A and B are shown apart, each in its own frame.
Chain A
């Protein structure tokens, strides 16, 4: 009987797992970058004369965190199974 059910069920599982993987991979860096810039803005508000120092460190931290999100977008192209991509 299950084969009848299988024939009747629409194939809803054509999921592109590469895209889902990137969506999940973007959660962490999203939070991280928000924290970096949030704390950076707060620090600049507390001490405006330290603006240059804070800004350069903010951008370094941003690039290091962004790297993880971007590795996430590249990985589906690298690890290609026959069904994904």
Chain B
């Protein structure tokens, strides 16, 4: 039984470029320039996904074993953008706000009234800087996907949502133990007045939820949304090039291009929605930790 040549996980990156030139007709060289599906050279194109060159970056420089790659640069740029914006808005606040201060006030009021107050009430106002920082940091990092030259959502590397998740997890666990006591924090996870045989199932599920499932889904939700969104845009953008030819391929290519534009608009909605969801779930978890039991 002949073995099918498999591209993807089992093939390392150098082999993918070599594979293209092996599969092509003898005498032609496969470059990105002539990888079209209808062309005579039959050059393949590696599918976007995790091991593909779309998600693996050659570092700009190395310091020992620390490699500085493009997602790190994007994270630094996002941090500088957020800090610079709020600094410019509130460095010298006036009673009659300037334009930048108005924008900053709109942003902070959105987080305060739509996210913080419904979840935590007035006593949570001390956590407003944390929530504002999370919301705008996640949003600007997500926006990097559609900004030219950058065009990579840094949140699609699992490390960045995981770092934010650790901050949120540490915060709400510490606050829960501080406000409810160590035993009280775990005791309050389990609802009272429940028959014992339901409690035997409910208690482990609830404890698992607070300890493992909430932080895991918080990080993976953001990561997977950005990862899948980037792959979507990549597939249709590559398809626009790959299907391009002087024949019926032109129609396929044009459709693919229209889809890229539509999906970019959809991605803009998803980016702001994911930032909102991350922030509001953070507010909910912290609010749940602050109240002294049900």
Interface set of A (CB-CB < 8 Å, partner B): 6-7, 11, 14, 56, 59-60, 63-64, 66-67, 70-71, 73-74, 77, 80, 82-85
Contact = CB atoms under 8 A, between A and B. Distances in A.
Contact of A73 (B51, B118, B228): B228
Contacts of B225: 66, 70
A56 B118 contact: yes
Contacts of B194: none
A30 B2 CA distance: 39
Interface string B225-253: 10110000000000000000000000000
- A contact patch SS: helix
Nearest to A74: B224
Given A59-B273, A63-B277, A66-B225, A80 B4 contact: no
Interface in B1-45: 1-2, 4, 6, 8-10
Nearest to A11: B1
Nearest to A68: B217
Contacts of A14: 4
Interface string B215-227: 0010011011101
Interface of B: 1-2, 4, 6, 8-10, 49-51, 114, 118, 217, 220-221, 223-225, 227-228, 273-274, 276-277, 280-281
Nearest to B8: A85
A64 B284 CA distance: 13
A70 B224 contact: yes
A74 B228 contact: yes
A59 B276 CA distance: 9
A84 B6 CA distance: 9
A71 B273 contact: no
A80 B2 CA distance: 22
A59 B277 contact: yes
Contacts of B4: 11, 14
B115 to A, nearest CB: 9
Given A60-B280, A82-B10, A67 B224 contact: yes
Nearest to A81: B9
A6 B274 contact: no
Contacts of A77: 49-50
B277 A73 contact: no
A73 B227 CA distance: 9
Contact of B223 (A59, A74, A82, A83): A74
Contacts of B223: 74
Contacts of B114: 56
B228 A67 contact: no
Contacts of A82: 9-10
Contacts of B50: 77
Contacts of A66: 221, 225
Contacts of A56: 114, 118
B285 to A, nearest CB: 13
Given A59-B276, A71-B220, A80 B9 contact: yes
A74 B220 contact: yes
9 contacts: A7-B1, A14-B4, A56-B114, A63-B273, A67-B217, A70-B225, A77-B49, A80-B9, A82-B9
Nearest to B217: A67
B224 A71 contact: yes
Contact of B274 (A7, A63, A84): A63
A80 to B, nearest CB: 5
